[in-house]
Amino acid sequence: MSGSLGRAAAVLLRWGRGASGGGLRGPGVRAVGSGGGSGSAEQLDALVKKDKVVVFLKGTPEQPQCGFSNAVVQILRLHGVSDYAAYNVLDDPQLRQGIKDYSNWPTIPQVYLNGEFVGGCDILLQMHQNGDLVEELKKLGIRSALVDETKDQDSK
């Protein structure tokens, strides 16, 4: 991870730990059990296309088990994305390896928007920083909370 991305991730991690005492689960965030044996390409294809936003992470949105998974959860939270499916790869070794094979991406977390693989923490953080995430969410019909925040600041 480059220096600036690493520093930004560290800021997000510190911010996330201090925010609202762990109330990360929005009304639509679903920490979904893998259902067992979810490693086949057909099953994974169905999972990533089932919801507009899908995240495969270590832990759950309420209790991420690694800093990178926490950063992804915090980025989504900053944008007000409250309706997404989250799959804990630590619950199912087949799912953990299967999603890596499916995406041809070696690390977790992994983020999918509208069934398309976006990337991991570093990519999502970069998209957040350069504004691309706002645009991608808009394509899904999701209005980023940061758009409203920017307008509020401009009107002051």
Q: pLDDT (tens digit, 9 = 90+) per residue, 63-121?
A: 999 999 999 999 999 999 989 999 999 999 999 999 999 999 999 999 999 999 999 99
Average pLDDT over residues 11-25: 40
Give me the mean pLDDT over the 39-46 stretch. 90
Of the candidates 34, 62, 65, which has an alpha carbon nearest to the alpha carbon of residue 47?
A: 34
Rounded to an integer, what distance in angstroms lies between the CA atom of residue 111 and that of residue 67? 15
For the chain, the average pLDDT equals: 82
Chain-centre distance for alpha carbon 148? 21
Task: Please tell me the predicted confidence (pLDDT) of residue 103.
Answer: 96
Q: In 3D, which of 32, 69, 61, 64 has the Cα closest to residue 47?
A: 32
Average pLDDT of the residues in 26-33: 55
Instruction: Please determine, for residue 26, whether its predicted confidence score (pLDDT) is greater than 50.
Output: no
State CA 99 to chain mean position distance.
14
The pLDDT assigned to 149 comes to: 66
More reliable by pLDDT, 148 or 54: 54
- 67: Cα separation from own chain's centroid: 12
* pLDDT for res 154: 55
Strand residues in 11-81 grouped as ranges (E): 30-32, 53-57
Confidence check: pLDDT of 139 > 70:
yes
Q: How far apart are CA 76 and CA 125, in angstroms?
A: 10
Question: Is the pTM for the entire model greater than 0.85?
Answer: no
Share above pLDDT 90 across residues of the chain, in percent, rounded to a whole number: 67
- Using 50, 70 and 90 to split pLDDT, how confident is the model at 23? very low
Quick one: pLDDT band at residue 148, thresholds 50, 70, 90? confident
Check if the beta carbon of residue 50 is closer than 8 Å to that of residue 43.
no
Give all domains of the chain, ordered by start, each with its CATH number: 31-140 (3.40.30.10)
Residue pair 29/21 in contact (Cβ under 8 Å)? The answer is no
